[in-house]
Structure 1
Amino acid sequence: MRLLLVEDDPTAAAYLIRGLHEAGHHCDHLDNGHDALFHAAREAYDVLIVDRMLPGLDGLSLVKALRAAGQRVPVLFLTALGGIEDRVDGLEAGGDDYLVKPFAFAELMARVQALARRPPVQQQQTVLQVLDLEMDLLRRQVRRGGQKLDLLPREFMLLELLMRHAGRVVTRTMLLEQVWEFHFDPKTSVVETHISRLRAKIDRPFAVALLHTVKNAGYSLHAPD
């Protein structure tokens, strides 16, 4: 894998770089957010490992800027900020996973490998459609009834998963694993919050609801029977 580590602590960076190289991976290292934004937007990386507290441009702002530019490279936040609100902020900024310092290197590698297994866009369908709701994966656009909908990056990912499983139940666990790459329950309402925001954009302005809550099971995107 080709990885980008954005970490301003030289001791922590040296430890990570050594471990990643020993595991057979190429790892570029930058110590500030501004340089990381430039390189991540122009270079092809499999995963970004990003500290939150960075000079110049902090980790949250870095990831937000990348997502706003349409960059979907998986991001693992690696930080000492471990509170529930900190985790939620990281996920809502566009992070895919969140690991708190101190950490076990074996767990870091397992999380990085899980993120890297996400299939590239070019191997997927490029247009998804349910009734009058259409998602263009290449243009990163969503329309319903011909009207363009403005979705945040995480909302786009959430809707993409629901559309790929149209007519079937998608559980909360599936959403955590496939949208956030969480293989544990973070004990937050992050899924419910994003579902509510997504529903407000794709359903409430329209006559027919497509996004349905399935009691004690999960969610389903489908046209009414």
Structure 2
Amino acid sequence: MERILLIEDNREVAGVIFDYFESLGVELDYADNGEQGLQLAMAEKFDLILLDLMLPRMDGLTVCNKLRDAGNSTPVLMLTALDNREDMLNGFRHGADDYLTKPFDLEILEARMNALIRRYHGKTASSTITFKSLHIDQKTRQAYRNGQLLTLNPTTYTILELLCQQAPEVVTRQEIARKLWDDDDEPGSDVMRSHIYQLRSQLDKPFATPMLVTIPKVGYRLEEV
């Protein structure tokens, strides 16, 4: 049984989500403020966190940022009434894996959640893959460069794993999108760019030479001088 943490201060919205997912056999825990939500997320094991952006005591961006800083890789799907481009990208910069604006269709929410959970549990073989100084342990879903652990969320891990599996060949944007999202539910290009930005901040910026190369209008590949 999947276990979901819902952090949402609107009791009406929370009630609708509970009714829908409990009827599907999903176990839900609940917090109505950011501080309580962060405490629960750090103390318990969840398959996914549904996180409202505007929360009392601690906002959703801060909650997500603190989770990632503490090494918590549980997928985070942000729920918010804010729908402008910068708000969405800001959520990804703080470690969110996906973003859904209110009001939303519950079936779309379910599909997004299921996609994140599948990636998080990583239906991969218990093995390792290596390219140059990059080493990925598929069993633990951890990646290292020059022996240094990279702080990746489930989405950036999935992108890096795909790039490493095909390195040094090019992986197209379409291939990455198919890996991350259902074909009929792919978000815009800004979302992809935000995830690539997050990946670069871990894979390239701490090191003397970059590995992630952009192939304009095509996709990305790994290389190392």
Instruction: Please give the alpha-carbon distance, in whole angstroms, between the structure 1 residues aligned to 2:81 and 2:199.
Output: 28
1:122 and 1:187 map into 2 onto residues whose CA distance is: 26
- Letter aligned with residue 51 of structure 1: D
Distance (Å, rounded) in 2 between the aligned partners of 1:158 and 1:3: 24
Q: Which runs of 5+ in 1 are unaligned?
A: none
Give 1:6's aligned residue: 7
SS class of match (2:169): coil
Q: Is the 8 A contact 1:70 1:140 kept in 2?
A: no
The question of 1:54 aligning with 2:61 is answered no
How much has 1:194 moved relative to structure 2? 4.4
Q: Give the SS at the match of 2:86.
A: helix
Partners of 1:202 and 1:169 in 2: CA distance = 23
Matched, 1:172 2:159: no
Helix, strand or coil at the partner of 2:35: helix
Corresponding residue for 1:29?
30
1:87-124 C-alpha deviation (Å, 9 max, x unpaired)? 10111111111110011111111111111111536955
| CA 1:93–1:179: 2 relative to 1, 3 Å | farther
Q: CA deviation at 1:49?
A: 0.6
Indicate if the aligned counterparts of 2:122 and 2:141 stay in contact, CA closer than 8 A. Answer: no
| Aligned AA (1:97) | D
Q: Indicate the SS of the match to 1:3.
A: strand
Alignment deviations for residues 180-221 of structure 1 (CA, whole Å, 9 cap, x no partner): 889423242425644665675277x23xx6433334321111
Shift of 1:165: 3.0
Contact 1:49 1:75 (8 Å CA) reproduced: yes
The residue that corresponds to 1:85 in the other structure is 86
Q: Which residue does 1:142 correspond to in 2?
A: 144
Q: Map 1:158-169 onto structure 2 (within 5 A).
A: 158-169=159-170
Name the % identity.
Answer: 34
Which residue identity is paired with 2:38?
L
1:38 alignment partner in structure 2:
39
With over 3 angstroms needed to count, the CA separation of the structure-2 counterparts of 1:171 and 1:198, relative to structure 1, is: farther
Residues 32 and 174 of structure 1: CA distance in aligned 2, closer, same or farther (over 3 Å): farther
Aligned twin of 2:214: 213
The AA in structure 2 aligned to 1:211 is L
Deviates further, 174-183 or 80-89: 174-183
Q: How many residues align?
A: 219
